């Protein structure tokens, strides 16, 4: 054990430190198994005070701190950097899952305050036990943590109604690069007293501080829920459908998910779930509505809005409306199993892009046309949170070719095509997954120079030793 580690053990009573190679290697491998890195130790603090002491000690010894929540990120942000100038720096991996000091709720203020280590699912359940809703919802909710959700500004399936993690956070506490506790947990809905450090920390991917606690917004739990499955001609019709529903039922609309035919065919190939019967080859839309009123009132309202939509509209071909929670779950399973169905098919190239909803069809058509023009006959498995302008534009190798060879050969060209198309449509190359180490070069290349210089200046101002997650988000 190095002097630094002995110092840590002695100096911070109760701090759990692991220096065995196996658990270190496991913790330093990311969710997608793209990055297998290492660290001096895995440290698992239980208190914010331990985090403060740890960061101070790391600063004194020049040891970098990589913070990890549930390790479910998709861009290598939660494991030490694998290449570039910072890959050789000594790191500790700070796992936040034992940070569980605080879990309280203020019903009259509609807020919940929790330590960073609670999983999203635990927080949802705690709110639900009080008849309240924490609306953030994503596939990894059983594993991902509140701290990770905040650090990555997680999105998910209810952003359309309730916003991203950013919009759900009223305040946070973090440990800065000097090992000092900063921020606030007051749960204020109005507070104009200086620069908004909260929003600077949210989405900063562990590069500006270690988020230890947060105060988040709650909502009354809906009393009724209703899911519609629509067969629509194409993505253009899906956008028109969204706009129609927003005019009539904006405040009941909770999710609006679009899927192309290939995506749904694939799920039905690998899973028992069956989509409602409709014309072959068309696109699919899943819409969720919820309200504080009765099931019957919501159902009637939605049925009216959708009947109105179909009336004389050949682009919307079929509508199925669920009658109970079980039916709703069955439809959601189709959407939620796309990624896994795709994994069963083998390798693919994933893109997490967004642009204004109004320009999604243009992006979709341009990207597919450019892929065809380049002679790359991929299978597009396209789906996503259309209501937020966010698509997961995933591309699989043609079934008759070796996927690994095809992708090694064409992945870069496919990325270039998709990224060029989304940028040309006023979009972004990372809607909800962030930058991490995967896209740091891309971020530098596509960001306007004055904006990128502002990023670098802020990082230098708040973390002058580049202690937190070096080599992430920023390219150097």
Give the residue among 365, 466, 332, 349 at the shortest CA–CA distance from 414.
Answer: 349
Question: Which residue number, 1 or 200, has a Cβ lying nearer to a second copy?
Answer: 200
Nearer to a second copy, 398 or 441 (CB): 441
Instruction: Work out whether 307 is an interface residue with a second copy (CB under 8 A).
Output: no
- Find the distance separating the first CA and the last CA of the chain, reported in whole Å: 29
Range 392-431, binding a second copy (CB under 8 A): 426-431
476 contributes a contact to a second copy by CB under 8 A: no
Which lies closer to a second copy via its Cβ, residue 401 or residue 424?
424
Task: Compute the least distance from the CB of residue 129 to a second copy, in Å.
Answer: 16
Q: Which residues pair with 230 in a beta bridge?
A: 285, 319
- From 56-64, 319-327, 353-361, 396-404, span contacting a second copy (CB under 8 A): 353-361
Q: Which is nearer to a second copy, 155 or 470 (CB)?
A: 155
Total residues binding a second copy (CB under 8 A): 88
**Shortest separation between residue 11's beta carbon and a second copy, angstroms:** 21
Range 137-140 contact pairs with CB under 8 angstroms and sequence separation of 24 or more: 139/336, 139/339, 140/70, 140/72
Q: Binding a second copy by CB under 8 A: which of 99, 116, 202, 273? A: 202
Kindly tell me which of 60 and 180 has the beta carbon lying closer to a second copy.
180
Strands, E assignment, 302-432: 316-321, 348-349, 352-354, 379-385, 390-396
- For CA atoms 115, 116, 122, 128, the dihedral sign is positive
Residue 62, Ramachandran bin (φ over 0: left; ψ between -120 and 50: alpha; else beta) = left
Residues 319-348 binding a second copy (CB under 8 A) are none
Could you say which residues in the range 98-127 bind a second copy, by CB under 8 A? Answer: 106-111
The number of helices, as runs of H, and strands, as runs of E, in the chain is 17, 19
**In the Cβ-directed half-sphere of 190, how many Cα atoms lie within 13 Å?**
0
Residue 432 in contact with a second copy, rule: CB under 8 A: yes
The binder of a second copy chosen from 21, 194, 272, 314 (CB under 8 A): 194
State how beta strands 111-115 and 283-291 pair. Answer: unpaired
- Residue 214 structure tokens: 């947060």
Q: Which is nearer to a second copy, 26 or 243 (CB)?
A: 243
CA 296 to chain centre: 33
Residue 117: both structure tokens together: 């280590």
> What are the E-state strand segments in 134-209?
169-175, 181-183
Nearer to a second copy, 313 or 330 (CB): 313
Q: Which of 414, 435, 467, 475 binds a second copy (CB under 8 A)?
A: 435
Site for a second copy in 442-461 (CB under 8 A): 443, 447-452, 454-455, 457-461
CA trace torsion 142, 143, 149, 153 (10° rounding): -90
Residues 171-190 that bind a second copy (CB under 8 A): 176, 178, 180-183, 186-190
x/- string (CB under 8 A) for a second copy, residues 206-245? --x----------xx------------------x---x--
């Amino acid at each position: 054990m190095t002097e630094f580690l002995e110092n840590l053990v002695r100096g911070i009573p109760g701090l759990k430190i692991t220096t065995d190679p196996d658990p270190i290697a496991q913790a330093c491998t990311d969710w997608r198994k793209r990055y297998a890195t290492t660290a001096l130790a895995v440290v698992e603090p239980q208190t914010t005070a331990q985090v403060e002491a740890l960061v101070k000690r790391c600063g004194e010894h020049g040891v970098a701190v990589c913070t990890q929540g549930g390790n479910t990120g998709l861009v290598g942000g939660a494991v030490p950097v694998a290449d570039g100038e910072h890959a050789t720096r000594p790191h500790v991996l700070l796992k936040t899952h034992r940070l569980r000091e605080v879990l309280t709720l203020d019903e009259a203020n509609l807020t919940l305050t929790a330590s960073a280590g609670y999983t999203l699912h635990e927080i949802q359940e705690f709110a639900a036990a009080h008849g309240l809703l924490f609306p953030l919802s994503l596939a990894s909710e059983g594993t991902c943590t509140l701290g990770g959700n905040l650090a990555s500004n997680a999105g998910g399936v209810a952003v359309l109604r309730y916003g991203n993690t950013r919009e759900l956070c009223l305040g946070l506490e973090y440990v800065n690069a000097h090992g000092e506790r900063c921020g606030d947990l007051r749960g204020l809905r109005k507070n104009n007293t200086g620069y908004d450090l909260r929003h600077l920390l949210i989405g900063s991917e562990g590069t500006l501080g270690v988020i230890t606690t947060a105060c988040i917004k709650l909502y009354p739990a809906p009393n009724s829920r209703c899911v519609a499955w629509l067969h629509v001609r194409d993505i253009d019709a899906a956008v028109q459908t969204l706009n129609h529903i927003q005019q009539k039922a904006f405040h009941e609309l909770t999710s609006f998910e679009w899927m192309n035919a290939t995506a749904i065919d694939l799920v039905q190939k690998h899973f028992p779930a069956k989509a409602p019967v409709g014309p072959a080859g068309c696109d699919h839309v899943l819409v969720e509505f919820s309200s504080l009123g009765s099931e019957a009132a919501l159902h009637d309202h939605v049925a009216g809005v959708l009947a109105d939509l179909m009336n004389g509209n050949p682009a919307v071909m079929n509508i199925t409306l669920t009658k109970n929670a079980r039916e709703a779950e069955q439809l959601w399973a189709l959407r939620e199993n796309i990624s896994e169905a795709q994994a069963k098919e083998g390798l693919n190239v994933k893109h997490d892009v967004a642009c204004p909803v109004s320009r999604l069809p243009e992006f979709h058509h341009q990207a597919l046309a450019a892929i065809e023009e380049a002679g790359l006959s991929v299978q597009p498995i396209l789906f996503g949170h259309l209501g937020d302008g966010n698509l997961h534009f995933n591309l699989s190798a043609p079934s008759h070719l070796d996927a690994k060879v095809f992708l090694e050969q064409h992945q870069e060209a496919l990325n270039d095509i998709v990224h060029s198309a989304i940028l040309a449509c006023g979009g972004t190359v990372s809607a909800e997954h962030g930058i991490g180490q995967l896209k740091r070069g891309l971020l530098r290349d596509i960001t306007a120079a004055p904006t990128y210089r502002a990023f670098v200046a802020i990082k230098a101002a708040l973390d002058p030793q580049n202690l937190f997650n070096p080599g992430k988000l920023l390219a150097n």
